[in-house]
Amino acid sequence: MRLIDENGTQVGIVAIRDALQMAEERGYDLVEVAPNAVPPVCRLLDYGKFRYEQSKKEREARKNQKQAELKQIRLMPKTDDHDIAVKANQAKRFLLQGDKVKFNVRFRGREMAHPDIGRKMLEDIAEQLRDIAVVEQRPLMEGRVLSLLVAPNAKVLKAAQQAQKEKARQPRPQSTGEGGAVAVAASDDEELDDEELDDEELDDEELDDEDDRTKA
């Protein structure tokens, strides 16, 4: 076997018995680091510390890697072209961040007789997003909901992951002073806009329910 000592210096070809004796005398472990080499390569090191450092690196890598989320966007058969364009742009933002997007067209009452309207709507959206997304699930009816699932294509996903790594490498800004307060406020406002959009969609659905009850 080829032996490397605790300082990274190559000792040379030695017998396993001699390598074990050297490890014991110096208070290190004998660890095989390249079993497929000819001859195999072993090192003298503190195995506990080595495993700790490896685990730490793995945790940091997982921490810096953004986990893809599933974003859901609600639509209705009577959603107009302008609102569809707004939803498509919202989906683009999610996709460019590396997230998947599921469009849900909810049918009510007599709308169930015209699923082709929702299907056409979802196909048009998929066409608008085809430059940055791939269709993972074509329009599928689930009860009263027609769904389309799209995901960022390989190029977009790679760019999103790279951007996340670059962001993780940058030092975090201090939150002291007016500059930090402004930065935090801007971030909060951006998240609030998404919540307001969801609330607006919910209000539309509630109004639809009231209209149905009035007609009844």
Last residue of a domain, one of 64, 80, 112: 64
Q: Which tokens sit at 157?
A: 């996903």
Query: Residue ranges of the chain with pLDDT lower than 70?
Result: 61-68, 168, 171-216
Cβ neighbour number for residue 28 with a 10 Å cutoff: 16
Helix-then-strand count for the chain, H and E? 6, 8
Please identify which residue in the block is written with the tokens 């095989």.
32
Looking at the structure, tell me whether residues 10 and 59 fall in a common domain: yes
Between CA 45 and CA 32 the distance in angstroms is 10
Last residue of a domain, one of 152, 169, 186: 169
Please report the pLDDT score of residue 90 as a whole number: 93
Which residue range(s) make up the domain with 123? 66-169
Looking at the structure, tell me whether residues 26 and 87 fall in a common domain: no
Looking at the structure, tell me whether residues 124 and 30 fall in a common domain: no
Q: Going by C-beta distance under 8 Å and a sequence separation of 6 or more, which residues neighbour residue 82?
A: none
Please report the pLDDT score of residue 167 as a whole number: 75
The whole-model pTM stands at: 0.51
> Alpha helices of the chain — where are they, by DSSP H?
16-26, 47-64, 81-96, 115-128, 154-169, 177-215
Which three-class secondary structure state does DSSP give residue 146? strand
Looking at the structure, tell me whether residues 49 and 90 fall in a common domain: no
Please report the pLDDT score of residue 172 as a whole number: 59
- The domain spanning residue 120 has which CATH number? 3.30.110.10
Query: Measuring CA to CA, how many Å separate 210 from each of 7, 24, 67, 75, 201?
Result: 77, 81, 39, 18, 15
How many domains does the chain contain in total?
2
Please report the pLDDT score of residue 42 as a whole number: 93
Between CA 147 and CA 205 the distance in angstroms is 17
Please report the pLDDT score of residue 47 as a whole number: 86
Q: Which tokens sit at 101?
A: 């997007």
Looking at the structure, tell me whether residues 115 and 130 fall in a common domain: yes
Please report the pLDDT score of residue 35 as a whole number: 86
19, containing H or E segment: helix 16-26
Looking at the structure, tell me whether residues 91 and 150 fall in a common domain: yes
Please report the pLDDT score of residue 214 as a whole number: 46
Between CA 15 and CA 207 the distance in angstroms is 82
